[in-house]
């Protein structure tokens, strides 16, 4: 395979994107982002949230074979709290709305994890009843699903703006991908809310929420993918930070504001 890579690069109509892109890379490579100082940390575990399987040519033009795109979830523990970040996919199709079940699941070749999230937690000595909170990065079906039957003591949270974007959901509108068990204002079955609190800057993010109040775990307002989209930053005991990005870099269209054109630029390194 040629070492010269073709990058799909976005150019906003009427702008010189390459100049902007190169300036951005230079700025990011020289800038030192100041993060809040803290000695606090969380315990973070990676969970298998299933995957998608597709032709490799969809990822790399001209290549043959298949690729698997993993869909991660995370378990966060801190000072007696037990929190999940996203849930990924599940083999049980009853978790999904009829539209998602009919149009999406087979087309994207979804593969649920070989062991459920509950089983993976149990292997770590955590019961489903121990989970007190599920933070959803956003409302798409491959990240969120109803939790009341699985995590009976947990409350779910979405980012600000999710409710307005997703109401009323599939129980009122059969053509809606959004799950009415969350978003139906009259008949919802799930205990959930939008995250609220004192939002302040974190690194390059303008709005972030110090979730535990000690600087160990920040929920980041990360607009672009959909309304209410979130990311998170978790500080480990070693002092390193882990960014839970979810779908923040899902595709090039996350960065387009209006109309866009796509250039293929050969040889960028």
pLDDT, one tens digit per residue, over 175-218 is 888 888 898 999 999 999 999 999 999 988 899 999 999 999 99
Domain membership flag for residue 12 = no
Domain membership flag for residue 175 = yes
Q: How many domains does the chain have?
A: 1
- 25-34, 104-113, 141-150, 205-214: least confidently modelled range: 25-34
Domain membership flag for residue 5 = no
Domain membership flag for residue 235 = yes
| pLDDT in the model for residue 237 | 95
Q: Provide the domain limits for residue 212.
A: 38-247
Kindly report the CATH number assigned to the domain that includes residue 52.
3.60.15.10
Domain membership flag for residue 73 = yes
* pLDDT category of residue 32 using cuts at 50, 70 and 90: low
Domain membership flag for residue 33 = no
Domain membership flag for residue 256 = no
Predicted model pTM? 0.77
Structure tokens at 14: 């009427």
pLDDT, one tens digit per residue, over 122-179 is 999 999 999 999 999 989 888 788 999 999 999 999 999 999 999 998 889 888 888 8
| pLDDT in the model for residue 247 | 62
Domain membership flag for residue 141 = yes
């Amino acid at each position: 395979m040629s070492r010269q890579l073709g990058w799909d690069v976005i150019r906003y109509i009427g702008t010189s994107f390459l100049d902007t892109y190169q300036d951005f890379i230079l700025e990011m490579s020289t800038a030192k982002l100041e993060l809040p100082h803290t000695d606090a940390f969380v315990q973070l575990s990676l969970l298998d949230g299933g995957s998608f399987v597709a032709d490799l040519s969809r990822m790399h033009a001209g290549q043959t074979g298949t690729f698997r795109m993993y869909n991660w979830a995370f378990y966060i523990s801190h000072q007696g709290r037990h929190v999940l970040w996203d849930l990924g996919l599940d083999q049980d199709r009853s978790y999904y709305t009829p539209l998602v079940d009919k149009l999406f699941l087979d087309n994207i070749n979804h593969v649920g994890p070989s062991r459920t999230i509950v089983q993976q937690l149990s292997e770590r000595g955590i019961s489903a009843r121990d989970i007190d909170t599920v933070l959803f990065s956003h409302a798409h079906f491959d990240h969120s699903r109803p939790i009341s039957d699985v995590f009976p003591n947990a409350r779910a949270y979405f980012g600000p703006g999710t409710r307005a974007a997703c109401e009323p959901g599939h129980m009122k509108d059969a053509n809606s991908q959004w799950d009415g068990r969350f978003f139906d204002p009259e008949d919802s079955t799930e205990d959930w809310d939008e995250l609220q609190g004192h939002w302040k800057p974190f690194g390059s993010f303008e709005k972030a929420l110090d979730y535990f109040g000690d600087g160990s775990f920040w929920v980041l307002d990360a607009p672009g993918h959909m309304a209410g989209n979130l990311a998170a930053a978790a500080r480990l005991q070693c002092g390193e930070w882990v960014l839970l990005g979810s779908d923040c870099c899902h595709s090039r269209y996350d960065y387009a504001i209006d109309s866009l054109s796509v250039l293929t630029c050969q040889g960028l390194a």
